[in-house]
Structure 1
Amino acid sequence: MLTIADSGPRLVRVEAAIAWIELGGANTGNMLTRQQMTMLSEAIRLAGADPDVSVVAIAPGGGAFCLGRNGKGEPAEALPWDARQRQMGVTLDVYDAIAACPIPVVACVQGNAIGFGAALAGGCDITLAARSARFALPEIKHSIPATLAMSALIRKIPEKALAHLIYSGEEISAEDALALGLVSKVFPAETFEESCSAYLLALASRKRLLLETIKRYIAKAPQLSPEMASEYAGTLMALVKPSL
């Protein structure tokens, strides 16, 4: 059983086969430094490797979900290309950890998700949002091409929806995010915690192998031709059905 007590800005606990990863730093809108992003990636990988865990849930420690990246303490001067690439790699590693996690990773967005926060939320396998939550990818307003965020979302939402979010940089409601495919389901703000917990408990009650198989197919099938996708579906079913 995975149990991690307070580890700085991360708090991970397992309850009813759900591994909760809390984003620390409510006083700063849960903005994450690069070091904290590394901690988040490690927590996702650790939770996904625990055989007693069926679902990984990412939630804020209070207030906003995540208002973006915290660059405090980073050098203001331009860095060499290789150093800059390593910096960007920390962000990409979070998205890679979500994709590589064998079980569903669910974002529980009770507050606003801006910049990296929006990409993190939308990049998860399932995104649950309170109706009061707001989403934005405003990098273009700061003369930043949001290619890192796009890499997390390019296979999650339609191309034109992604282009609109990136080019406009506008803030949208949870309902608009649902319509664009950035969010999976919206709950009333006043009952969000109860509704989110009920959703997660129902999902975590399924056999881990079943959840793993579904995630594996969702990840691989879009890259295949229709014929190969059908064959892959049959192969997976034949392999796992005797164990379910």
Structure 2
Amino acid sequence: MPLLTETRGRVRLLTLNRPEKRNALNNALVGAIVESLRAADADPDVAAVVIAAAGPGFSAGADLGERAILIADPEARVARAALSDAMLAAPGLMGKPVVAAIHGATVGAGASLALSCDLVLGAEDLRFAWPEARHDIYPALVLPMLLRHLGPKDAFELVATGRPVLAAEALARRLVNRVVPREALLEEACALAGQAAQYGAESLRRIKAAINASGVAP
């Protein structure tokens, strides 16, 4: 299964589970993330969500193995773009806090998935990267998220150079809320998710809507 689902108390844990592909985001995984987030939002027994990943890194970004198929099929390309947009929008529409627990390589669209969440915890081995320039791919899923978090100059630097951003810099730039030891990542993320689950669903949706409307990162 590309996405594992587990409930820890009142926290729903979603784990990206394509370690053999470095958790690259293909149609099946993106669809499963969207469906699972919506299901968690509708479940009265779930108070918060954590998105984590199996294997040595969080996500290698979009699955380039699907790119040739999408390029050759305009309808499939449009459908995938809509699905990706739905994935990145889903955390901000939920009446529950969503925490990303990221480690290792967190790349391209995978980085955007993490940054779309309300809170981000990074392990000490975290390595953000945006390598779209090396493949001459327009950073459609990347640039809006970086602009929201960093502003134009810093966003341009990262997409144009593709240089990595390690945990200490990610914390200094507020791309993550906290950096924690790798072995404590899931426990800390679940605890933070629970702490952030005090508002009722409608109040939290209003707070997220206000943040989204401001154009400032949560």
- Residues 73/45 of structure 1: CA separation in 2 closer, same or farther (3 Å cut): same
Alignment partner of 1:139 out of 93, 109, 132? 132
Trace 1:1-244 onto structure 2 (pairs within 5 A).
8-72=1-65, 75-76=68-69, 78-79=71-72, 81-204=74-197, 206=198, 208-209=199-200, 212-220=202-210, 223=213
| CA-atom RMSD in angstroms | 2.4
How many residues are treated as equivalent by the alignment?
214
Quick one: distance in 2 between partners of 1:40 and 1:175? 28
> Unaligned stretches of 5+ in structure 1?
1-7, 225-244
CA offset digits 1:148-191 (Å, max 9, x no partner): 22234443443433232222211110111122222121112343
TM-score normalised by structure 1 residue count: 0.77
Q: Retained in 2: the 8 A contact 1:31–1:67? A: yes
Quick one: distance in 2 between partners of 1:177 and 1:150? 16
Quick one: distance in 1 between partners of 2:80 and 2:186? 34
Q: Secondary structure at the match of 2:142?
A: helix
Quick one: distance in 2 between partners of 1:59 and 1:212? 25
Q: 1:9: how far off?
A: 1.3
Comparing 26-35 with 127-136, which one deviates more in the overlay? 26-35
CA offset digits 1:196-221 (Å, max 9, x no partner): 343234334x3x40x65245224325
Moved over 6 A (4+): none
Q: 1:80: how far off?
A: 5.8
Quick one: distance in 1 between partners of 2:43 and 2:37? 10
- Residues 103/83 of structure 1: CA separation in 2 closer, same or farther (3 Å cut): same
Q: Retained in 1: the 8 A contact 2:2–2:29? A: yes
Quick one: distance in 1 between partners of 2:24 and 2:76? 22
- Residues 47/157 of structure 1: CA separation in 2 closer, same or farther (3 Å cut): farther
Greater CA radius of gyration, 1 or 2? 1
Quick one: distance in 2 between partners of 1:40 and 1:185? 24
- Residues 142/74 of structure 1: CA separation in 2 closer, same or farther (3 Å cut): closer
Quick one: distance in 1 between partners of 2:15 and 2:125? 20
1:143 is matched by which residue type in structure 2? D
Q: Secondary structure at the match of 1:53?
A: coil
Q: Retained in 1: the 8 A contact 2:34–2:86? A: yes
Q: 1:81: how far off?
A: 4.7
Q: Retained in 2: the 8 A contact 1:158–1:180? A: no
Quick one: distance in 2 between partners of 1:175 and 1:39? 31
TM-score normalised by structure 2 residue count: 0.86
CA offset digits 1:131-154 (Å, max 9, x no partner): 111001111121112122223444
> Unaligned stretches of 5+ in structure 2?
none
Q: Secondary structure at the match of 1:106?
A: strand
- Residues 219/34 of structure 1: CA separation in 2 closer, same or farther (3 Å cut): same
Percent identity, aligned pairs only, is 30
